[in-house]
Structure 1
Amino acid sequence: MEVFSKGIHRALVPIDSHMENIAIVELAESASSYRMLTQMDLLRFLKAHASEPELRGVMSHSVSQLGGVTDIIFGVTHRAKVIQAIKCMRTAALNAVPIVEASSGLREDHSQLINGKGRKLIGTFSSTDLRGCPISEMQSWLQESVLDFTETLSASPSHTASTQVTSPRELVACRGESNLAEVIDKAVTKQVHRVWVVDQQGLLDGLVSPTDMISVTRASLLSESS
């Protein structure tokens, strides 16, 4: 849990080792096999055991109360082109960005990332979406707006036949007062790596990532044990 609470998404875990009281390096070398463990695996475990006494307390608290909401959030407007969004995400090392409504009263550069906080959330543009994009159509889609792209992709037969649980247009969101158990359930059920936080008007207020979920859970468990 400590490793995943620091932003590591996956780790090889040595198994079938019968040695005790040895250093981690020696343990890894003595193992006959390994298993890949991911943040999502840990979230599935937490979801399955959320009602147990050790977890019941932290799971009942809101993500806002636990300090699990990241409120610095960069996004793109719905008028940004796909190629522009890809370049922005690559530069900022982001795997996904929220698509927010462009301002009607301000002139803004749709080719750049913007502060999405307080903007109307209307979608998500993720690098995962590109996996469902037919290569033959990719070149023409690069000049579409990110919003049109997600709509087109959702209607694409190749995307419909894919195993993705969540449509690019589907918003997986919660409120700041949503409890941790609810947010983890959304992430696991929809198989997403971010849950957007919105207010009553649907305006973007932040996000909760798997790292955030695991970090606040670990902090709470350590606090209770000390």
Structure 2
Amino acid sequence: MALLDQHDIYSLPVYSHDGPDKIVNIVNTFDLLDYLQSNGNRNLSAPIEAVMTLDTDRESYRIFEADRHDTLKPTLEAFSTNVHYALVIDYHANPKPTAVLTQTDIVRYVARHPESLHGLDLDASIEQIGLLDNKSPLVTVTEAQTALEAFAIMNDTNLTSVPVIDRDGKICTNLRAFDSSLVAASKLDVLAKPVTEFLAELTSTTLKPVTCRPSTSLREVIDGVVASRTHHVWVVDDQDQAQQVVSLTDLIRIFRQAH
């Protein structure tokens, strides 16, 4: 937890006991938060392997290995299937991973080098390019629900972020498992508070969610993701009611089609 806060990151690789060059898991703040909430567990001196989940559907186990001499195409294909991390390995020189490439790295690169996507009109709306097609219903929590209930919903649906809506269906904030301050400070008595009170008390990050409309351009969504350091942009209608979400995986699927 100290390393996450120190470097302002939300995940760290875990190396195998048997092979010091083999990464077996990438533990993130969601895993830590889940561990700390389980039965009120506050044993911060436990080895990190206590946090490692055996659930292979969790993103911690969805790791792709990429040859640093290969093209980006295989990594984009993996990232478009909801893999969030790629271990970059030089198989010709050193089998030990030299870097961890993330979905965020790809989106940041596109923001800096929009010319890299030759077949994609970044000024077209997200609705026009199909970013909202064939989406599952949006999972939300209400401002009246407790933080514990909200995290339980996220855990059950395997989501790392959910919008918090008010009685009118408008998004008032969002709950993200990637805020390290939530992990460090979470206590069962605080988790019993309504989610908005929980966030106001424990996080120093802005409570304002990043939103867009179906008519928003792809370029604006990408810029919003990078500027806000978020993984999700919530799509609202003309009445500002929550409708859908655009995730990093959604963006990379579009990038892959144009690459």
Is the structural similarity TM-score above 0.5? Answer: yes
**Partner of residue 86, structure 2:** 11
Question: Could you tell me which amino acid in structure 2 is paired with residue 41 of structure 1?
Answer: D
> By how many angstroms is 1:141 displaced?
0.9
Name the CA shift for 1:178/1:145 in 2 (closer, same or farther; >3 Å): same
Shift in Å, 1:54: 4.0
| Structure 1 residue 140, shift from structure 2 partner | 2.1
The residue type paired with residue 38 of structure 1 is T
Cα deviation, 1:7-53, whole Å, max 9, x if unaligned, reads 110111223737xxxxxxxxxxx646532110000101111111x27
Instruction: Tell me, in whole angstroms, the C-alpha distance in 1 between the residues paired with 2:131 and 2:249.
Output: 9
Relative to the length of structure 1, the TM-score reads 0.72
| Alpha-carbon distance between aligned partners in 1 of 2:107 and 2:183, rounded to the nearest angstrom | 32
Q: Which has the higher helix share?
A: 1
1:179 maps onto 2:244 in alignment: no
Residue of structure 2 in register with 1:115 after alignment: none
Which structure's relative contact order is higher, taking Cα pairs within 8 Å and 6+ residues apart? 1
Distance 1:141 1:178, change over 3 A: same
Q: Unaligned regions of 5+ residues in structure 2, if any?
A: 1-75
Measure, in 2, the Cα distance between the counterparts of 1:84 and 1:138.
Answer: 14
CA 54–84 in structure 1, closer or farther in 2 if over 3 Å, else same: closer
- What is the count of residue pairs matched by the alignment? 182
Whole-Å separation in 2 of the counterparts to 1:205 and 1:173 = 10
Name the SS of the counterpart of 2:98 in structure 1. strand
TM-score (normalizing by structure 2) = 0.64
Out of 102, 127, 134, the residue aligned to residue 64 of structure 1 is 127
Deviations 1:166-225 (Å, cap 9, x if unpaired)?
52x11111111111111111111111110101122211120100010010122133xxxx
Q: 1:101 to 1:3 in 2, by over 3 A?
A: same
Distance 1:32 1:99, change over 3 A: closer
The answer on 1:79 being equivalent to 2:120 is no
SS at match of 1:128: coil
The answer to whether the 8 A contact 2:110-2:116 is kept is no
User: Matches of 1:53 and 1:10 in 2, distance apart?
Assistant: 21
Q: Residue 58 and residue 128 in structure 1: after superposition, are their counterparts in 2 closer, same or farther (change >3 A)?
A: same
> Who wins on radius of gyration, i.e. which is larger?
1
Match of 1:125 among 165, 175, 179: 175
- Give the drift of 1:139: 2.6
Q: 4+ runs of 1 displaced by more than 4 Å?
A: 30-33, 134-137
**Which structure 2 residues correspond to residues 65-144 of structure 1 after superposition, within 5 A?**
65-69=128-132, 70=135, 72-102=137-167, 119-129=169-179, 131-133=180-182, 138-144=187-193
Provide closer, same or farther for how the CA distance between residues 60 and 135 of structure 1 changes in structure 2, counting only shifts above 3 A.
Answer: closer
TM-superposition CA deviations, 1:136-183 (whole Å, max 9, x none): 6623211110011122234xxxx3xxxxxx52x111111111111111
Q: Which has the higher strand share?
A: 2
